[in-house]
């Protein structure tokens, strides 16, 4: 197996591109794919401040590493979700990564800062844990981005993730979700821009990237997600991809090119109807946001704030290696 670029010994085959790469040219290939995604979807403009949501897993740590290599100003945000040992461990990976590279990591801990955790929220809402977890993540990514004056929030969703979510949404024709399933959601109505710069790279490539660049990541998956339908969709797509390499890419990018536009109208209507949450000030379609309602139902508490700037309400992010900006 020879590297497509230098003909030296290859360490990975990327069947979807019908190409093999050595270490050096595989890293270059990952950088190129991220740059291509950023440029094609205008994800990050030069000089913008990026908040990378890092879980301690391979995708988000690889993303932080790649953005840093590509010269973007990228600080990390880790959320302690309180999912037993899984969360304790994931925080260690995120902190060690930041400390070893002198990067800034912000932290919010659901239990310390809001008096609840994901298992408690799941029990209180009687829904699957991922739903309370996802709601908390989305709210806190936005909140910390506002607080820290970040232009954009980047997450480590890769091609496998996006194709599986698209597959699930298409199977049930969830048109309102299809309208939002873009690698970029523009800023607006108090929300920062959201971007997914890894959409051109697969899960396997991200694991390989971490191995060849020496990134130590949490291999274990979230125990609360075990057996959920998202994992089933991933398995189904994996078996199709195995027989026809490139199917995931064509499915996802074909949707973006030829179908996504048709679902967009709903988005504009949603945005027009937003007001401010009476407790935390976050943009919401009702008078209290879903996050504040979740915290209350879970027996937690909102941090005290001065009543003017909702951003000061979140737990103070912990900064490693540098002082927080004023």
Residue 79 binding result from ligand FES, ligand AMP, Zn ion, none, given CB thresholds of 5 to 8 Å by partner type: ligand AMP
How big is the CA angle at 94 (ends 163 and 325), to the nearest 5 degrees? 105
> Residue 251 and residue 166: Cα distance in Å, rounded?
9
Q: What angle do CA 71, 75, 78 make, to 5 degrees?
A: 140
Near ligand AMP by CB under 6 A: residue from 81, 122, 182, 277:
81
Residues in contact with ligand AMP, shown as a per-residue x/- string from 285 to 304 under the rule CB under 6 A? --------------------
55 binds ligand AMP (CB under 6 A): yes
Which tokens in the block code for residue 314? 């979140």
Residues 78 and 108: their CA atoms lie apart, in Å, by 7
- Closer residue to ligand FES, CB minimum distance, 27 or 133: 133
The contact set with ligand FES (CB under 6 A) reads 81, 83, 118, 129-130, 133, 222, 224-225
Residue 314 and residue 143: Cα distance in Å, rounded? 7
Q: What are the two backbone dihedrals, phi and then psi, of residue 100, each rounded to the nearest 5 degrees?
A: -65, -25
Alpha helices in 172-228 (DSSP H): 175-180, 203-213
CB 64 within 8 A of CB 52: yes
3-state secondary structure of 192: coil
Measured from the CB atom, the residue of 123 and 256 that comes closer to ligand FES is: 123
| Minimum gap (Å) between residue 184 Cβ and Zn ion | 25
Show the site string, 280-299: x = touches Zn ion by CB under 5 A, - = not: x-x------x--x-------
Closest separation between CB of residue 10 and ligand AMP, Å? 27
Closer CB to ligand AMP, residue 60 or residue 298?
Answer: 60
| E-state strands within the chain | 12-14, 19-21, 49-53, 73-80, 105-109, 152-154, 184-185, 193-195, 275-276, 283-284
Which of 129, 148, 156, 315 contacts ligand AMP by CB under 6 A? 156
Q: Which of residues 34, 51, 53, 159 is near ligand AMP by CB under 6 A?
A: 53
Long-range contacts: 188-191, Cβ < 8 Å, 24+?
A: 188/271, 189/271, 189/274, 189/283, 190/142, 190/146, 190/274, 190/276, 190/282, 190/283, 191/142, 191/283
CB of 284 to Zn ion, least distance (A): 7
Q: Least separation, in Å, of the C-beta of 77 and ligand AMP? A: 6
> Using CB atoms, what's the residue nearest to ligand AMP?
156
Minimal distance, residue 247 CB to ligand AMP, in Å = 21
Distance in Å, CB of 295 to Zn ion, minimum: 8
Tokens of 114: 């809001």
Q: Do residues 158 and 68 touch, judged by C-beta distance below 8 A?
A: no
Of 161 and 279, nearer to ligand AMP (C-beta) is 161
Residues 25-44 interacting with Zn ion (rule: CB under 5 A): 25
79 or 121: CB nearest ligand AMP: 79
Name which of ligand AMP, ligand FES, Zn ion, none residue 152 binds, using a CB cut-off of 5 to 8 Å depending on partner kind. Answer: none
Which residues bind to ligand AMP, rule: CB under 6 A?
A: 53-55, 59-60, 77-79, 81, 137, 155-157
């Amino acid at each position: 197996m020879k590297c497509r670029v230098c003909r030296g010994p290859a360490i990975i085959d990327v069947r979807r591109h019908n190409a093999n790469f050595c270490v050096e040219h595989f890293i270059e290939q990952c950088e190129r794919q991220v740059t291509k995604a950023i440029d094609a979807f205008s994800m990050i403009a030069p000089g913008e401040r990026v908040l990378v949501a890092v879980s301690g897993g391979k995708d988000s740590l690889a993303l932080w590493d790649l953005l840093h290599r590509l010269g973007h100003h990228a600080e990390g945000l880790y959320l302690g979700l309180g999912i037993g040992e899984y969360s304790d461990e994931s925080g260690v990976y995120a902190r060690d990564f930041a400390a070893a590279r002198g990067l800034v990591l912000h932290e919010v801990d659901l239990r310390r800062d809001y008096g609840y955790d994901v298992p408690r929220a799941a029990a209180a809402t009687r829904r699957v844990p991922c739903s309370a977890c996802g709601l908390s993540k989305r709210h806190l990514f936005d909140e910390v981005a506002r607080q820290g004056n970040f232009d954009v929030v980047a997450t480590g969703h890769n091609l496998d993730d996006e194709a599986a979510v698209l597959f699930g949404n298409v199977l049930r024709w969830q048109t309102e979700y299809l309208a939002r399933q873009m690698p970029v959601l523009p800023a607006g109505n108090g929300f920062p821009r959201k971007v997914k710069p890894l959409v051109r790279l697969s899960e396997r490539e991200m694991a390989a990237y971490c191995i060849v660049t020496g990134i130590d990541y949490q291999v274990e998956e979230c125990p609360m997600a075990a057996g959920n339908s998202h994992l089933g969709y991933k398995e189904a797509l994996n078996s199709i991809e195995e027989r026809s390499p490139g199917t995931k890419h064509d499915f996802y990018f074909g949707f973006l090119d030829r179908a996504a536009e048709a679902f967009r109208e709903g988005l504009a209507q949603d945005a027009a109807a937003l007001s401010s949450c009476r407790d935390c000030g976050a943009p919401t379609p009702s008078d209290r946001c879903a996050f504040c309602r979740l915290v209350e139902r879970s027996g937690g508490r909102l941090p005290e704030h001065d009543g003017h700037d909702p951003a000061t309400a979140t737990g103070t992010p912990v900064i490693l290696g540098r002082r927080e900006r004023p």
